[in-house]
Each structure stands twice: as C-alpha cells, then as structure tokens.
Amino acid sequence: MLGALAPLVGYHLRRALSAFSADFTAAMEGTGLRQVPLAVLAIVQANPGINQGAAGRMLGIKRANMVALINDLVEKGLIDRVVDVSDRRAFSLTVTKAGIAALADAMARIEAHENRMLDELSMAERALLLDLLGRIERRSPAGDGDENGDA
Amino acid sequence: MLGALAPLVGYHLRRALSAFSADFTAAMEGTGLRQVPLAVLAIVQANPGINQGAAGRMLGIKRANMVALINDLVEKGLIDRVVDVSDRRAFSLTVTKAGIAALADAMARIEAHENRMLDELSMAERALLLDLLGRIERRSPAGDGDENGDA
DNA sequence: TATTGTTATACTCTATAACTATA
DNA sequence: TATAGTTATAGAGTATAACAATA
C-alpha cells in the first residue's frame, strides 16, 4: 500500500500533523485565530515586552512574515505594540486584556482538540511522544527563524 | 519561554516536522524531487496501475492538485501514464525504469536523512514513535484526499 | 447520476531581496 | 557595520467551483 513510505518517520510526521491541523482549524472556528497567530500570542504572553524579531526566532518565523502577523493581532486588539524605550528600532509587545481572554478561550478549545486527537494514547504515551518530538526538534539547524534575510 | 505552547503535542509535531522538512529538502537537493512528488512516486511503485484519484486519496491530495503533479512526473520520465483499458476515464500509472532508479537514489538519501534526524533515538524509540504517529494519523477525518470537490 | 481527469482560480504559508531608522 | 522593522514579491501547497468524457 504505502510502499517505501511506510517506514519513514518524516512521512508519518507529515500525516499526523495534517490530521492535527484539520482538527485544530475546526476547533478554532469562529475565534478568528489560526495556528501561527495563536502561537505568537502565546509566546508574547509568556515573554512580555518581547520584540517581533525575537518572537519570530522562537517560532521559526522570518522577520518579514512577522509584520502582517503582528499588525493583525494589534488590529484585533489582542496585542499592544509600543516603541521599546531602550532600543527605539524595536517594538515591545504585550498581550492585552482581550488577548488574555482570547488565549484562555483558545486554550480551552485546544485542550479538547488535543484530547480528541490523542484519545488512543495513555498519559504516559503522550508524555513519551512529547519527549521524542522534543529530541527531534532540537536537531533544527541553528538559525531557523531568520538570522540574516538580506543579501 | 514557550508558555502555553510547551505542553501541546500539535505544536511540537509542527516544529519537529519543520526540522525534518528542512533537512529533507537539503538531502534531496539536485534530484529535482520534493516531498509530495516523491510520495506520489512511491505510492505508484507500490501500487502499479493505480489511477491519479486513488493515489491522491491515499496521500490526502485533491484530484485537482494531482494533475500538475503527475504531469511533472511524466515529463521527467519517471512515470508512465496510459489510458486504463477497463475504465477509459482513468489513467493507469506505473513507474518507469528511470523512475525506479530515481526512487532508489532518493530512498538512499532519505535513509541518511532519517538517521540524521533520529540519531538521538534508539531503534526501539524510533519504532515506538512510528507506532504513536500511526495511531494519531488514523484519527484523520474520513475523506481527506478529495471525495467530492464539486458543488 | 456519479466519477476521472481537467482548468481556472484563490488563499495561506514561507522565502528572498532591498529599503529605513536606529544602534 | 549590524540590527529591528518594513515593503514588495515569488513560490509552494492546498482549497473550491465548474466542465468534458466516460461509467
């Protein structure tokens, strides 16, 4: 059936993420938040005052692609963006009150979504999966997010 | 650091696949094959005579998006496409001799790539990861690939 | 009527290059 | 000279809708 693909972790990673993404999108319907913006929101909440570049680097998002992402979150009133007093090139990002509420709602939906996707796995297996994935992630080439997008 | 994202399997799945994809792309450089076309080639090899729609369904690719994919593989001389004698609407797909060679080369590269990405995991852990991912995949909504793209 | 393949099209995600303002 | 943010743009990948030929 699957032939040469059957034993490939990369292939199954792709298919598993595809299943996750479809259910995630359904779970978030009506919130106006998708995967990437939600991740940005969560990172800003966990790191108040962080700037766009640093947030992007943590998530593997290029500087150029952060702009529209942050604009959107600011327009939605979920993130505050003020010039950083210690480096006037940068913006200091924080989650607004509405952002905190949106994140709380999203996380409740996501918890249900994760339980749905993982309901065949025991708690020990879920922890093991997180551990295994974490050890793969750390093999990312340094300089994921950006680094030096210019010539 | 990661805040609310830290315990989410979906987030780590995404990051792990991102690391895999970057290394996969590097490993396949110069072959002219990327993730999706390679998967199609492998499926056709494992299922000689399969048609586009069925191959797409197995991989979660829509009918409409299979067209350019197959055109490309045929132009490259990796796949043969002939009208199916038992259903003249469909094409019967098979891998050419050049396709078999391309697939063999690709699989050697991919084996090295997988070993690189998984070198922190024991063989038992790799098998376990495949099992866990497989159990997640099977939660895909029925009707992934296509079904009824029309109105 | 349903299905195979097709075209046209649009939206998201991601990537590069060049620019500005600060440092 | 390097960095933060910006703009413009291009390429994948994926989604829908409508059509012709065949079943």
User: For the segment B59-97, what is each residue's pLDDT rounded down to a tens digit?
Assistant: 999 999 999 999 999 999 999 999 999 999 999 999 999
Q: Give the nearest nucleotide to B64, CA to C1'.
A: C6
Convert the pLDDT of each residue in B28-38 to its tens digit.
Answer: 999 999 999 99
Give the pLDDT confidence score for residue A142 in this predicted structure: 54
Low-confidence ranges of chain A (pLDDT < 70): 140-151
Chains A, B: CB contacts under 8 A, how many? 180
Residues of chain B positioned with their CB less than 8 A from the CB of A9: 20, 114, 117-118, 126, 129-130, 133
Q: What angle do CA B18, B20, B23 make, to 5 degrees?
A: 110
Task: Please indicate whether, in this complex, the C-beta atoms of A136 and B8 are within 8 angstroms of each other.
Answer: no
Q: Which of A19, A107, A118 sits opposite B137 (nearest CB)?
A: A19
Q: Give the nearest nucleotide to A70, CA to C1'.
A: D5
Convert the pLDDT of each residue in B87-118 to its tens digit.
Answer: 999 999 999 999 999 999 999 999 999 999 99
The Cα–Cα gap between A116 and B126 comes to 24
CATH 3.50.50.60 fits A9-137, yes or no: no
Give percent of chain A with pLDDT exceeding 90.
Answer: 90
B108, B24 Cβ separation under 8 angstroms? no
CB neighbour list of residue B141: distance below 8 Å, 6 or more residues apart: A19, A22, A23
Task: Please indicate whether, in this complex, the C-beta atoms of B128 and A130 are within 8 angstroms of each other.
Answer: no
Give the pLDDT confidence score for residue A139 in this predicted structure: 79
Task: Please indicate whether, in this complex, the C-beta atoms of A8 and B110 are within 8 angstroms of each other.
Answer: yes
Nearest residue, CA→C1' of D21: B89
Decide if pLDDT at B140 tops 90: no
Within 10 angstroms of residue B48's Cβ, the number of other Cβ atoms is: 11
Q: Which of B1, B46, B137 sits opposite A3 (nearest CB)?
A: B46
The structure tokens 């296509």 sit at: B146
Q: Which stretches of B28-92 are DSSP H helices?
A: 35-46, 52-59, 63-75
Residue extents of the structural domains in chain A: 9-137
B16, A133 Cβ separation under 8 angstroms? yes
Q: Which of B10, B16, B58 sits opposite A13 (nearest CB)?
A: B16
Give the pLDDT confidence score for residue A148 in this predicted structure: 39
Give the pLDDT confidence score for residue B86 in this predicted structure: 96
CB neighbour list of residue A21: distance below 8 Å, 6 or more residues apart: A35, B10
**Chain B closest-CA separation from residue A88 CA (Å):** 24
Residue in chain B closest to A59 (alpha carbons) equals: B15
CATH code of the domain made up of B33-137 = 1.10.10.10
Q: Per the structure block, which two tokens stand in for B114?
A: 């997988």
- Choose among B10, B81, B84, B28: nearest CA to B36: B28
